[in-house]
């Protein structure tokens, strides 16, 4: 089997070639891919077209444009007459694309949004100097600065991991690796 990609941009054509030696298309086998959003939503499927013994699965750009961003589970099944066999399964991340996006659409990741919010809270907390106060019968307690700094560190690492994964996926070097060249002076 050829490896299924692990990410697609909504509005991008999905192409996958299933190579199943035990279930050749030339012998009448058909491979169907089933996709279902993990967070709930409308499931979809696509059947293969034959290419010699291989099975070509393609989902049009117009179809993927309607897919919700997030993680989708997928499975491929080979079928012929009354026989049916599961070939493989995995997860596919659908990310929102900029095609058709409204002006001002926030394109930050959840981790980046969280990091930006925590940093804003740290700046606001540092200037207030009050952790807890009561007005009338209502009481408000702010996050402890230590808790905010710990959360900021965690989210900053999450953002760095996302940036490293994105860089490597696009063929750029991992920004988290330091390259050193040693030589004689």
- CB contact at 8 A, 175 and 167: yes
Q: Which residues pair with 83 in a beta bridge?
A: 80
pLDDT digits (tens, 9 = 90+) for 52-81: 999 999 999 999 988 988 899 999 999 999
pLDDT at 157 over 70: yes
pLDDT at 161 over 80: yes
Output the pTM of the full model.
0.62
Interval 33-58 mean pLDDT: 94
How far apart, in whole angstroms, are the C-alpha atoms of residue 85 and residue 55? 14
How would you classify the pairing of strands 54-59 and 7-9?
unpaired
Q: Does domain 7-95 have CATH number 3.40.50.800?
A: no
Between 155 and 102, residue with greater pLDDT: 155
pLDDT of residue 125: 63
Determine the angle formed by the axes of helices 145-169 and 110-128, rounding to 10 degrees.
Answer: 150
pLDDT of residue 123: 81
What secondary structure letter does DSSP report for 131? S
pLDDT of residue 179: 66
């Amino acid at each position: 089997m050829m490896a299924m990609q692990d990410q697609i941009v909504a509005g991008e054509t999905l192409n996958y070639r299933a190579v199943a030696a035990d279930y050749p298309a030339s012998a009448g086998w058909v491979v169907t891919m089933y996709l279902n959003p993990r967070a709930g939503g409308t499931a979809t499927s696509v059947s293969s077209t034959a290419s010699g013994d291989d099975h070509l699965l393609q989902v049009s750009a117009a179809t993927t444009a309607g897919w919700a961003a997030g993680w989708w589970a997928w499975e491929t099944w080979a079928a012929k007459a009354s026989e049916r066999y599961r070939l493989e399964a995995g997860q596919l991340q659908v990310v929102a694309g900029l095609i058709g996006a409204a002006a001002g659409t926030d394109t930050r990741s959840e981790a980046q949004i969280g990091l930006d919010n925590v940093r804003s809270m740290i700046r606001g907390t540092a200037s207030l100097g009050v952790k807890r106060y009561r007005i009338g019968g209502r009481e408000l307690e702010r996050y402890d600065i230590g808790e905010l700094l710990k959360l900021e560190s965690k989210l900053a690492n999450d953002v760095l991991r996302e940036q490293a994964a994105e860089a490597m996926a696009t063929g750029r070097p991992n920004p988290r690796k330091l390259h050193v060249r040693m030589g004689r002076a």
